[in-house]
Structure 1
Amino acid sequence: MMSALKAHCQSIYQHVPANRLLALDVFRGMTITAMILVNNPGSWQYIYSPLAHAKWHGWTLTDLIFPFFIFIVGVSISLSGQRQKEQGLGHGHIIHHALLRMFKLLLLGCFLALFYYNFSAADYDWFTQRLMQMRFMGVLQRIALVYMACVLLWLFLSRLQLVICMLAILVAYWLAMAFIPYHDDLGNQYVGLLEYANNLSAWLDNYLFAKTHLYYSSAQPFAFDPEGVLSTLPAIASGLSGVLAGQWLSFSHHSMRHKAKWLAICGVVALLLGQMWAHWLPINKALWTSSYVLLTSGYAALILAGLMYVLDIKQWRLWAAPFVVFGANSIAFFMFAGVVGRLVIMVHIGEVSVKAWLYSHFYRPWLGDLNASLAYAVSFLILSYLVMFVMYRKHIFWKV
């Protein structure tokens, strides 16, 4: 059994180019794996606390996942962009490619928002209840917007200017949230609040979109979206932190050990600054506060540096092989999980969905509520891995 597993992992690394930064691929794979794990519990009523988001201020391990992915996007922009420049590709080509990728991500996000039909309701009207109430913002939509903004900033700003731009975004967002006044439909004016459904970001989402197009559509006094318009601005700063990390990693005259050491040092500094800033501006994922950006970017840099040491310097690699498979097709993995995750809710066995039936009849009787919910999510990952591994072996890499 162990020898077969070792052979399986070794076969995966046969397809990895020798000059590839393995740490980044594994980090991407670990991040998307964690994202799918927390998004597919057997029951949303039974989740271990680290696998749930913080209710409002504060953070859990789950709150690190999305900004980690944004950070990785930024690193990839620098590394892949540098290769494009070395191939002689100009700004026009790079921007054209980035625009295409942005629109593909936006379309995929819209597809997931619309991919649902309530087969159990005879009077369900997909056009009215789904299309006309489609959520405009979302995970893929935010990635698309951050990606495009970071590509443009990376192309036209120097390294120092990127640092200044990132810091300016964080400070400007903090000042905006603290000092720009807003009011509700009754004429009540507010300023500086960071409450659930009552803050500048929520007000702007509520002002721009009808309530039915927002994730928290019934929130009062303002419906809002956790991937809202204004909070996308500091998410760009998260992407820029990855861009800067990628630029540091692209320096050919530094050793891998030197790069990992200084990346870790920068990570510690960012982490400490984020914790200090949190005394005045709470860490909050839904608001994507500036302190949250520094905290999560700091942790991302530390993890990437640690993976570089383990995988690229010490060459301890076998354990990470499954994450290479997931990371190689991260968007395909996300889409597969999104489609299958909806299908098991849409399709019914008797009066309950396939998901609810599996949870209540197969997992819960012998594991209990919490463990059954986690076991369902792990089973979902195993199924996903089988599909992603087949794609990997057949060299099918879905690039958007």
Structure 2
Amino acid sequence: MLNRYANGILQGLPANRLLAIDAFRGLTIVAMILVNNPGSWRYVYDPLLHAQWHGWTPTDLIFPFFVFIVGLSIKIAIDRQLEAGHARAPIIKHAFIRMAKLVALGWFLALFFYNFRDPSFSWVDERLLSMRIPGVLQRLGVVYFFTVLIVLHWRTTGRIVWALLLSFSYWAMLAFVPYSDAAGNQYQGLYDHGNNLASWLDQWVLGAAHVYDKKASPFVMDPEGILSTLPAIAGCLTGVLAGQFLMNDKIPLIKRILGLLSVGLVSVLLAEVWNGLLPINKALWTPSFVLLSSGFACLTLGLCLWLIDHKGIKAWTAPFVVFGANAIAFYMFAAIVARVLLMLSVGDTSLKGWLYNQVFQPLFGNYNGSLAFALCFLALSYVVMHWMYKRGWFWKV
């Protein structure tokens, strides 16, 4: 029955579609939704949390994986558009519109909340006037647009140079550009929480009310802030370069797989060595973190290719294809439902709190109950995404 179900999903894919990329995308968005929706943030296993500051956990790799996949997709899409005779100007216009849509969706999620249990809650004051300006979708949109510009105007060598230039110029700014706080204290070359050039710039440009961590000191900070977008574009370009290598049919498949695995392993090892000089830090998106996450992305993509295209083991990919085919719709659906669960009340608590405290925690305990809630959230989301998939409803921005 499971094979029949999987075949029903996979047989509908175009013959020239790279299933490994679809599976990789689906795995990544599933992991993102899983870690974003525990039953209780008080009870989450450590690998499902971000590192507190320096260092990394598996959860820290999820967003850069998505950025890497955007790079893969850009390479494939632009190649097809140019081969079809499309001019650069319409491609750039489409990329700009897509960026604007992603930014708008991110801002919608930032505003979509109302605390019905608090009679003194002011949506204007606590949401609109203090709206977080950066965010996950906002960063994806900006990174996508600038990566498209680079891919359209530079070939392989230029793309490599841009990736290196963005990474090392960001590091140089963090290390050597001085800055000062409101009291006039001078700082330079710090990578501390709330005390680094990226945080200083976010507070100066965006304002203390419009970032993720408003309590950081002496400067607020945002993990999707302005300056750290530069190395994020570099991470997207590593996806473009991996896509170039992956799409090179002149190289036998097994050599492409071994190439990705080798590059991935070397990158991870170099990042860990570099960590001694430049900390691996997801919130700052340090170049060492770009190298680490891109290395793991190459390893994951290479493993998917080995299982799917070399060994022919494909049935397991079916649910991830369903999720990945509607990744933005899945992300928006999950984010909206998560907020609704917090907004709806049962007694003096939220519906989410009631479900965890009355159903999941009594059945499975604190940590397993929190994880079970996230898994059930995923299962219900799959029902909706599968329903959309079977009807051919794909939401593209």
Q: TM-score, normalised by structure 2?
A: 0.98
Structure 1: distance between partners of 2:53 and 2:270: 21
Match of 1:252 in 2: 249
State how 1:79-158 maps to structure 2 within 5 Å. Answer: 79-158=76-155
Stretch of structure 1 that moved more, 57-66 or 162-171: 162-171
Structure 2: distance between partners of 1:313 and 1:152: 34
Match of 2:346 in 1: 349
Structure 2: distance between partners of 1:251 and 1:86: 15
The AA in structure 2 aligned to 1:336 is F
Match of 2:12 in 1: 15
Shift of residue 339, structure 1, vs aligned partner: 0.2
Structure 2: distance between partners of 1:390 and 1:14: 17
Match of 2:240 in 1: 243
RMSD value over aligned CA atoms? 0.9
The AA in structure 2 aligned to 1:51 is L
1:209 paired to 2:211 = no
Q: Can you give the 5+ residue segments of structure 2 that lack an aligned partner in the other structure? A: none
Please give the per-residue CA displacement for 1:11-34, whole angstroms capped at 9, x wherever unaligned: 111221111110100000000000
**Aligned residue pair count:** 397
Shift of residue 171, structure 1, vs aligned partner: 1.4
Please give the per-residue CA displacement for 1:238-259, whole angstroms capped at 9, x wherever unaligned: 0010011111122232232222
Match of 2:30 among 33, 41, 50: 33
State how 1:318-329 maps to structure 2 within 5 Å. Answer: 318-329=315-326
Match of 1:264 among 261, 264, 282: 261
The AA in structure 1 aligned to 2:4 is A
1:313 paired to 2:331 = no
Match of 1:183 among 180, 203, 206: 180
1:50 paired to 2:21 = no
Structure 1: distance between partners of 2:106 and 2:82: 29
The AA in structure 2 aligned to 1:131 is L
Match of 1:220 in 2: 217
Please give the per-residue CA displacement for 1:17-67, whole angstroms capped at 9, x wherever unaligned: 111110100000000000000000000000000000101000000001000
Q: Can you give the 5+ residue segments of structure 1 that lack an aligned partner in the other structure? A: none
Shift of residue 331, structure 1, vs aligned partner: 0.4
Structure 1: distance between partners of 2:395 and 2:253: 29
Match of 1:194, SS? coil
Structure 2: distance between partners of 1:325 and 1:179: 46
State how 1:324-343 maps to structure 2 within 5 Å. Answer: 324-343=321-340
Point out 4+ residue stretches in structure 1 off by more than 3 angstroms. none
Shift of residue 168, structure 1, vs aligned partner: 1.6
Match of 1:162 in 2: 159
1:363 paired to 2:363 = no
Match of 1:292 among 269, 289, 314: 289
Match of 1:82, SS? helix
1:275 paired to 2:237 = no
The share of aligned pairs that are identical, in percent, is 52
Structure 2: distance between partners of 1:94 and 1:260: 31
Please give the per-residue CA displacement for 1:343-367, whole angstroms capped at 9, x wherever unaligned: 0000001111000000000011121
Structure 1: distance between partners of 2:320 and 2:20: 10
